[in-house]
Amino acid sequence: MLGTSLFNVTGLSLAIGLSSALETLCAQAVGAGEHRALGGLLQRAIAVGAVVVAGVLAIWFGPLEGVLGALGQPAALASEAVLFIRLTAPALVLANANESIRRYLVAQGAVAVPAAAAAASAAASAAAALALVPSRGLGGAAAAYNAGNAVALAVLALGSALHETRVARPAGVGAWAGLSPRAAFSGWRPYLAVALPSCSQVCIEWWTFEALILMAGALPGAEAAALAVAATGVGFQTVTVAYSLPLGIANAASARVGAELGAGRPAAARRAAGVATGAASLAAAAAALALLAARRSWPRLFSADPAVIAATASIMPLVATALVGDGVNGALAGAVRGAGRQGAAAALNLVAYWAIGIPCTAWLAFKAGLGLTGLWAGLAATTALQAAAMAAFVFGAIRWPAEADAAAARVKAAAAVGREEEGAPKPRSLVVAG
């Protein structure tokens, strides 16, 4: 559990957060008809992410184990966690490219390719886990991570090429002009102006969930803590599975809102945000009702331990409540990314999750003596608070005509970099023919 949390917190969340800038920039470029800017944006995103990933790996293979020891983690647990994330270093490198390509395709409406990549990745990870975990343990689990990301990258790369040659270019909206170091390493300032707030928005929220794992492990009594960690792990897996539909709606919201703003249609962008919020609310509510109906049978899919099953069943109403707030917030966050207002969303996340949510959750779990129930009651209340704050921001504070003007400026900057690139000599070996 600690190893996967470290992988997510110190690595994957950064890769996903930085690549989320493409949800703004690519969608707005598509709306403005500047499809040729997309290829440069994709390469820029991968290059920026690669620099950050290199820094993360330097920490993983350097002082991380000592840092964990200084934070009070048992030596054996810290050593095992560090070994796991070092073995999954290839997965982080691959994920950086995967997340960027996925957003590049979604902005163009090529959603079937990321869906196929996700299915192929899940199948490859499951097959590798079944084959290797029984004999290789931790190494087998890491190999499953790596295999899933490698297969995803292969499908995404092939799908991108097919979409470009068979769909985009015949329609006159080709997005790829070829590989180019100039495209990858120019225009970083405007890209980072969107990418850094995007990363903050994602990480602040993601790290909240990981903090709950740490709090569960710190509950009084070794047996109670172990049970809380196990039940919380099942709860998080449940939220992850149930969140898949709201996540798809959030991705659609960012693409649609961004495209409408790029096209200079602010009223349509606001309407798209409203439709996405309503759809995500219905989807999350349906998932929550299904979860409540299966509150006693669902935990059996994850554990055969009667104590873990009972503990998980007891918090399922709170898990379902947290899921609704998280689903609504996800759609609103997608709309915010499409609008390019990630900085304000990151500030809202910081206040709702870390200034209010985490302290209140800790008080419920430790001071009020509610333990596991307190952890999930705090999370459910926090997601509801954040969803309400985001709704007020999206539908009350955002000035949509001004966002359309800001989108036009972003697209102009990205297109200018692309035109500079097209005017520069290109190495023939790096240009994709077509």
pLDDT for res 304: 85
Kindly state the average pLDDT of the residues 138-160.
94
268, 304 Cβ separation under 8 angstroms = no
141 and 178 housed in the same domain:
yes
In a shared domain, residues 201 and 167? no
How long, in residues, is the chain?
A: 434
Smallest CA-to-CA distance from 261 within 430, 2, 29 is with 29
Whether residues 54 and 133 share a domain: the answer is yes
Q: Is the dihedral of CA 17, 19, 25, 28 positive or negative?
A: negative
Q: State the pLDDT at residue 434.
A: 32
The Cα 258–Cα 376 span in angstroms is 34
Using a pLDDT cut of 70, give the percent of the chain over it: 95
Question: Do 270 and 376 reside in the same domain of the chain?
Answer: yes
Q: What is the dihedral of CA 84, 48, 97, 273, to 10 degrees?
A: 110
Q: Which residue has the higher pLDDT, 395 or 1?
A: 395
The reply to whether 209 and 305 lie within a common domain is yes
DSSP type of residue 433:
P
pTM over the 0.95 mark: no
Q: Given this model, what pLDDT does residue 167 score?
A: 95
Of 186, 217, 247, the last residue of a domain is 186
Q: Is residue 417 part of a domain?
A: no
Could you tell me if 259 and 202 lie in one domain? yes
Which of 133, 151, 186 finishes a domain? 186
Q: Which of 133, 159, 186 corresponds to the end of one domain?
A: 186
**Tally of structural domains, the chain:** 2
C-alpha–C-alpha distance, residues 170 and 164, integer Å: 9
Distance CA 231, CA 258 (A): 39
181, 144: one domain: yes
Residues 152, 191: Cα–Cα separation, whole Å: 25
pLDDT at 420: 61
Q: Are residues 175 and 92 part of one domain?
A: yes
Tokens of 242: 């149930």
State yes or no: pLDDT of 242 exceeds 90.
no
Residues 245, 147 share a domain = no
- Pair 140, 273 in one domain: no
Averaged pLDDT, 96-114: 95
CB 365 within 8 A of CB 215: yes
Looking at the domain assignment, is residue 106 inside a domain? yes
| CA–CA dist 262, 396 (Å, integer) | 21
Is the CB of residue 155 less than 8 Å from the CB of residue 113?
A: yes
Q: What is the mean pLDDT of residues 375-404?
A: 95
Which is it for the CA torsion 290, 292, 297, 299, positive or negative? positive
CB-based contact 147:128 (threshold 8 Å): yes
Residue 427 domain-assigned? no
Q: Are residues 130 and 15 in the same domain?
A: yes
Asked whether 331 and 250 are in contact (CB, 8 A), the reply is yes
Tell me: pLDDT of 341 over 50. yes
Q: Domain for residue 96, yes or no?
A: yes
| pLDDT band at 419; cut points 50, 70, 90 | low
What are phi and psi for residue 2, nearest 5 degrees? -65, -40
Look at residue 431 and tell me if it is in a domain.
no
130 occurs within a structural domain:
yes
Residue pair 276/334 in contact (Cβ under 8 Å)? The answer is yes
* Residues 159, 246 within the same domain: no
- Reported as a single tens digit per residue, the pLDDT across 176-234 is 988 888 889 988 999 999 999 999 998 998 888 888 887 887 888 878 888 888 888 88
Q: Look up the domain containing 134 and give its range.
A: 1-186
Mean pLDDT of the chain, nearest integer: 89
